C-alpha cells in the first residue's frame, strides 16, 4: 500500500517528529488534512494523545498505540462542550472515540472537527457537495498564516501571531540596547565621562591624604614649607572637586537628553504601531494595559537604558577604584576595613528582596483601594440611584484600612533594617580608626599615617551607596526586561489586516458589494457568520435586522475590513476586499455609529474628522444637510463649541446629527448606519430621518435597522439569524410570511410602540 513514490508529504499540517514515528507509515501516501493533540484521558487527567485525519481515515495515537477508523465508517462527529474542556466524540460502526482536550488544544481540535465534518454525509444522508477550489485555497492560506514564518511551529492563539519561541530567542535586553542605537555616540561619551568622574572621586581621597600628611600633621618640614604644601593641596582639592562636579554635570545632562530622545522615539514607535494593529488586538486587551505600555513601560525603559545601565558601570567602577586605592595604600588595613562588607552586601540584598516583595503587595493593596474609587465615581449615578453611598464608603474604608495595615508592616521592616545597616557601616569606620590607630602608634610609617586613615574612611563611606544599587540592579534588570517584553509585544505584533503587496486604489467606486460564502469566527469554535452570500447593488439600501448576536455587527465589521473573513470572500465592485489598499477602501466607507463617538475638540473638528481639509463652508453645508446647523449656531460658541470626551454636553439627538454631518462631509460611496435603539422624541426623530434620507441618497447603504421607518425605507431587508441569512426580501414580502422571523420581529415592535405611544 505504501509505495514510497506515491507518498506526498503532508502539506497543510506538519506532524511533529514523534508522531510521524509512531504513525509508522500508516498514512500510506494520504495527505494529512488536519491533526490535533489531545491532553486529557477518559478520567480527565493529563495524558497525551493525538488524532490525525487523512481523507481516508482517522487515526488515534495514544501511548504509541494506533487505532484506525475508516472515514467511510464514521457516522457522526460532534463536539460536546464542557466546562474548561470539550469532548470530540466520533462514532462509527465499531469504535467510538471520545477525544478530550483542554482549552490549550481547542483550536486544533476544532480544526480537525471541521475537516472531518466535511468528509461526512450530512444528516439527510446525502454527501456534501464539493467545496469550490478557491475556498480551499483561502482556508489553506489562513492556516498557513498561523505558523511562524521563521521556525514553522504553530503559534498559540494567545500569542497574537508573535511566535513566542522566536521572540525569546533573541535576548530582550540586547534588543533594548538596539533601541538606543541611534544615540550610541552620545551614550559612549557619557560612559567615558563616567570613567573620568569615578577617577576624580578616587583622587579626592588621595588629595585628602596628602593635605593631612604633607601639610597639617607634618612634623618634618618647616612651617613655611607646610604652608606652601597646604596651599598647593588645598588648590588641588578644590580643582578636583570642581572638575569632578563639572564632569558629573556634563554626564548628567547628556544622559537626560539622550533619555528624552530615546523615550520619545520609543513612545512614537509603540503608539504608531498600535494604530496599525487590528481591532482584534484591542479587543483582547484592556485599554488601561495599552495606555501603560505607551506611558509607564516606555518610561521605565528610559530609566533603565539611561541611568540603569550607565549607573551600574559607574558603581562598579567606584567600588573597584576605592578598593584598589585602599589596597595600594595599606593592604592590611584594607582587609580589615572591608571585613564587614560581606555582611552588608548580604543584608542589603536580602532587604532589597524583602522590600521589593512588600512594596509589590503594598502596591496591590493600593490599586485595590483605587479601584473602589474608580468604580464608584464611574458608576456614581447607579450608586446614587440605589442610595448606596454608605455601602461604597464602607467598601472603601475596608480597603483603606487594609492598605494602612500593610503600610505599617512595610515601615516596620524598613525601620528595623536601617539601623542595622548603619550600625555596621559606622562600626567599620570605628574599626579603621582603632586598628589604624594601633598601626600608627606601633609603626608610624607613611602607610599608617593619619592622612591614610582619613582617606580610608572616605573610601569606605563612598562605596556603601554603590553596593546598595548593585545589590538591587538584578531586580532592576528583570523589571526593565518585563517592561521591554510588554513593549516589544506590541512592536512585534504584525498588523493582521494589512495591505497586500500589489493592492490598488481606484479612481472611483461604484459601490457594489458582494458576499460569497462568507464565514467568520472571532475566536475558537463559535462561528459568528456562516456561509453568507448576498449582492448589494450600487446605491441600494439594505436593512439588516435580527436578534442581538445574530451577526449584524459582524457583517459591518467585515465590510469595513476591521477583520478579514475566515472563509469565502467579500467583493467590492467585483474585486476582493483584501486586494484594495486598506486605508483607501476605508476612506470610501462611512460609518454612523449607534453611540457616536465625539473626540475631545470643537464641533467643527469633529465634523471635519473624515476630511480635515474641508472648508468652513463645506462644514456648514454638511451640517445643514444633517439638520444640525441651526442648533450648532444656537450654541454660544457655535462651531467652536468644545465637546467633552464623550460629548456629554450634547443630547443624544444632537450627537447623532453631528455624526451624520461628519459622514456627509466624508462623502463615502458606501455607508454603514448603526441605528440607535433608543427612541427619540418625534420632532428630533423627524429631523434625523430627514438628514438620514439626504445622507443615503446615491450611496450603497447598509443599515442595522431598529426603527420601523428605516425598515420600510430600505430597498431590501436581510434578516440574520445565528450568523446565517434567514430571510431576504422587501418589507411587504417578509411581512406576509406567516411564520417568518421578520414578521414576528416587526409585530412585536409594533405592539411595543403602541404600548409606549409611538407611531
Q: Which is nearer to other proteins, 410 or 447 (CB)?
A: 410
Give which of 746, 742, 607 is closest to 664, Cα–Cα: 607
**Identity of the residue, 80 or 268, whose beta carbon is nearer to other proteins in the bound complex:** 80
Nearest CA to 496 out of 680, 691, 280 is that of 280
What does the alpha-carbon distance between residue 292 and residue 274 come to, in Å, rounded to a whole number? Answer: 13
Residue placing its CB nearer to other proteins in the complex, 360 or 738: 360
**Closer residue to other proteins, CB minimum distance, 113 or 629:** 113
Q: If DSSP codes are grouped into helix, strand and coil, which group holds residue 14?
A: coil
Q: Closest approach of Cβ 139 to other proteins, in Å?
A: 23
Q: Which residues contact 396 (CB under 8 A, 6 or more apart)?
A: 369, 372, 373, 376
Crossing angle of helices 652-666 and 682-696, in 10° steps, is 10
Q: Which is nearer to other proteins, 3 or 43 (CB)?
A: 43
CB of 42 to other proteins, least distance (A): 8
Where on the chain is the footprint of other proteins (CB under 8 A)? 40, 44-47, 80-85, 87, 89, 91, 96, 98, 100, 102-104, 106, 156-159, 168, 172, 289, 357, 360-361, 364, 478, 481-482, 484-486, 489
Least Å distance, CB 320 to other proteins, is 31
Residue 489 CB, shortest distance to other proteins, in Å, is 7
Residue 91 CB-density burial (10 A; 0-12 exposed, 13-18 middle, 19+ buried): middle
Residue 100 CB, nearest approach to other proteins (Å)? 8
Length of the chain: 759
Task: Give whichever of 154 and 327 is closer to other proteins, judged by the CB atom.
Answer: 154
Least spacing, CB of residue 555 vs other proteins, in Å: 22
Q: Judged by CB, which is closer to other proteins: 105, or 458?
A: 105
Q: How far is the CB of 744 from other proteins (least distance, A)?
A: 17
As beta bridge partners, residue 519 has: 567
Picking from 517, 544, 553, the residue whose alpha carbon sits closest to that of residue 727 is: 544
- Nearest 5°: the CA angle 514, 517, 520 is 100
Residue 51 or residue 570: which is nearer to other proteins going by CB? 51
For the beta sheet containing 46-54, the strands, ordered from the edge strand earlier in sequence to the opposite edge, are 65-70, 57-62, 46-54, 32-40, 96-102, 85-92, 74-81
What is the closest distance, in whole angstroms, from the C-beta atom of residue 641 to other proteins in the complex?
39
Of 6 and 289, CB closest to other proteins: 289
Mark 192-208 as b/e (b = at least 16 C-beta within 10 Å). ebbebbbebbbbbbbbb
What is the Cα–Cα distance from 211 to 214, expressed in whole angstroms?
Answer: 6
Torsion angle in degrees (nearest 10) through CA of 97, 103, 105, 108: 90
Pick between residue 175 and residue 712 the one whose CB is nearest to other proteins. Answer: 175
Considering only the C-alpha atoms of the chain, give the largest distance between any 2 of them, rounded to a whole number of Å.
124
Q: How far is the CB of 479 from other proteins (least distance, A)?
A: 10
3-state SS record for 288-309: HHHHHHHHHHHHHHHHHHHHHH
Amino acid at each position: 500500500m505504501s509505495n514510497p513514490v506515491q507518498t506526498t508529504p503532508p502539506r497543510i499540517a506538519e506532524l511533529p517528529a514523534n508522531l510521524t514515528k509512531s504513525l509508522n507509515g500508516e498514512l500510506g501516501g494520504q495527505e494529512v488534512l488536519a491533526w490535533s493533540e489531545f491532553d486529557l484521558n477518559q478520567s480527565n487527567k493529563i495524558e497525551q494523545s493525538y488524532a490525525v485525519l487523512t481523507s481516508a481515515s482517522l487515526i488515534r495515537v495514544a501511548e504509541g498505540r494506533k487505532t484506525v477508523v475508516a472515514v467511510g465508517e464514521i457516522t457522526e462527529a460532534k463536539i460536546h462542550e464542557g466546562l474548561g474542556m470539550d469532548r470530540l466524540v466520533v462514532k462509527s460502526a465499531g469504535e467510538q472515540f471520545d477525544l478530550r482536550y483542554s482549552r490549550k488544544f481547542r483550536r486544533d481540535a476544532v480544526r480537525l472537527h471541521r475537516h472531518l465534518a466535511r468528509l461526512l454525509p450530512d444528516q439527510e444522508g446525502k454527501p456534501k457537495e464539493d467545496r469550490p477550489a478557491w475556498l480551499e485555497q483561502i482556508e489553506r492560506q489562513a492556516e498557513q498564516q498561523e505558523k511562524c514564518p521563521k521556525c514553522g511551529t504553530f503559534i498559540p492563539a494567545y500569542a497574537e501571531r508573535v511566535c513566542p519561541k522566536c521572540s525569546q530567542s533573541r535576548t530582550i535586553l540586547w534588543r533594548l540596547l538596539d533601541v538606543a542605537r541611534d544615540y550610541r555616540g552620545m551614550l559612549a561619551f557619557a560612559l567615558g565621562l563616567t570613567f573620568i568622574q569615578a577617577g576624580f572621586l578616587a583622587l579626592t581621597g588621595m588629595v585628602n591624604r596628602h593635605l593631612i600628611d604633607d601639610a597639617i600633621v607634618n612634623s618634618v618640614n618647616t612651617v613655611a614649607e607646610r604652608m606652601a604644601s597646604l596651599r598647593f593641596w588645598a588648590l588641588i582639592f578644590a580643582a578636583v572637586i570642581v572638575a569632578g562636579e563639572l564632569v558629573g554635570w556634563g554626564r548628567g545632562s547628556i544622559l537626560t537628553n539622550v533619555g528624552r530622545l530615546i523615550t520619545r522615539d520609543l513612545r512614537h514607535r509603540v503608539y504608531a504601531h498600535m494604530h496599525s494593529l487590528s481591532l482584534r488586538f484591542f479587543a483582547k486587551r484592556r485599554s488601561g494595559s495599552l495606555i501603560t505600555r505607551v506611558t509607564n513601560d516606555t518610561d521605565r525603559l528610559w530609566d533603565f537604558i539611561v541611568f540603569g545601565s550607565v549607573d551600574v558601570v559607574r558603581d562598579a567602577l567606584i567600588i573597584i577604584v576605592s578598593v584598589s586605592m585602599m589596597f595600594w595604600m595599606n593592604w592590611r588595613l584594607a582587609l580589615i576595613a572591608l571585613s564587614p562588607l560581606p555582611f552588608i552586601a548580604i543584608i542589603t540584598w536580602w532587604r532589597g528582596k524583602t522590600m521589593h516583595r512588600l512594596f509589590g503587595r503594598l502596591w496591590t493593596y493600593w490599586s485595590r483601594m483605587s479601584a473602589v474609587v474608580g468604580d464608584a465615581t464611574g458608576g456614581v449615578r447607579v450608586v446614587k440611584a440605589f442610595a448606596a453611598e454608605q455601602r461604597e464608603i464602607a467598601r472603601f474604608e475596608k480597603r483603606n484600612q487594609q492598605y494602612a495595615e500593610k503600610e505599617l508592616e512595610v515601615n516596620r521592616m524598613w525601620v528595623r533594617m536601617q539601623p542595622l545597616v548603619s550600625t555596621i557601616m559606622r562600626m567599620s569606620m570605628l574599626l579603621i580608626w582603632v586598628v589604624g590607630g594601633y598601626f600608627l602608634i606601633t609603626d608610624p610609617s607613611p602607610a599608617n599615617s593619619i592622612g591614610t586613615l582619613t582617606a580610608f574612611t572616605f573610601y569606605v563611606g563612598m562605596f556603601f551607596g554603590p553596593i546598595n544599587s548593585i545589590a538591587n540592579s538584578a531586580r532592576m534588570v528583570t523589571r526593565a526586561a518585563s517592561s521591554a517584553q510588554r513593549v516589544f509585544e506590541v512592536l512585534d505584533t504584525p498588523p493582521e489586516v494589512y495591505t497586500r503587496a500589489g493592492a490598488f486604489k481606484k479612481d472611483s467606486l461604484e459601490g457594489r458589494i458582494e458576499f460569497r460564502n462568507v464565514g467568520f469566527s472571532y475566536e475558537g469554535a463559535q462561528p459568528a457568520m456562516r456561509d453568507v452570500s448576498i449582492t448589494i447593488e450600487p446605491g441600494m439600501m439594505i436593512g439588516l435586522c435580527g436578534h442581538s448576536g445574530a451577526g449584524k455587527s459582524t457583517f459591518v465589521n467585515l465590510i469595513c475590513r476591521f477583520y478579514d473573513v475566515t472563509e469565502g470572500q467579500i467583493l467590492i465592485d467585483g474585486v476582493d476586499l483584501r486586494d484594495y489598499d486598506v486605508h483607501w477602501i476605508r476612506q470610501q466607507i462611512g460609518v454612523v455609529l449607534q453611540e457616536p463617538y465625539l473626540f475631545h475638540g470643537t464641533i467643527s473638528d469633529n465634523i471635519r474628522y473624515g476630511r480635515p481639509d474641508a472648508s468652513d463652508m463645506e462644514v456648514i453645508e454638511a451640517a445643514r444637510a444633517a439638520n444640525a446647523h441651526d442648533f450648532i449656531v444656537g450654541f454660544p460658541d457655535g462651531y467652536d463649541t468644545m465637546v467633552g470626551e464623550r460629548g456629554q454636553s450634547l443630547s443624544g439627538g444632537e450627537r447623532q446629527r453631528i455624526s451624520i454631518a461628519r459622514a456627509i462631509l466624508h462623502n463615502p460611496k458606501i455607508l454603514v448606519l448603526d441605528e440607535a435603539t433608543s427612541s427619540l422624541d418625534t420632532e428630533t426623530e423627524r429631523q434625523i430621518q430627514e438628514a438620514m434620507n439626504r445622507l443615503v441618497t446615491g450611496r450603497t447603504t447598509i443599515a442595522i435597522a431598529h426603527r420601523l421607518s428605516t425598515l420600510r425605507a430600505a430597498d431590501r431587508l436581510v434578516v440574520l439569524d445565528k450568523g446565517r441569512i434567514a430571510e431576504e426580501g422587501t418589507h411587504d414580502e417578509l411581512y406576509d410570511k406567516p411564520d417568518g422571523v421578520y414578521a414576528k420581529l416587526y409585530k412585536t415592535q409594533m405592539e411595543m410602540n403602541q404600548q409606549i405611544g409611538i407611531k
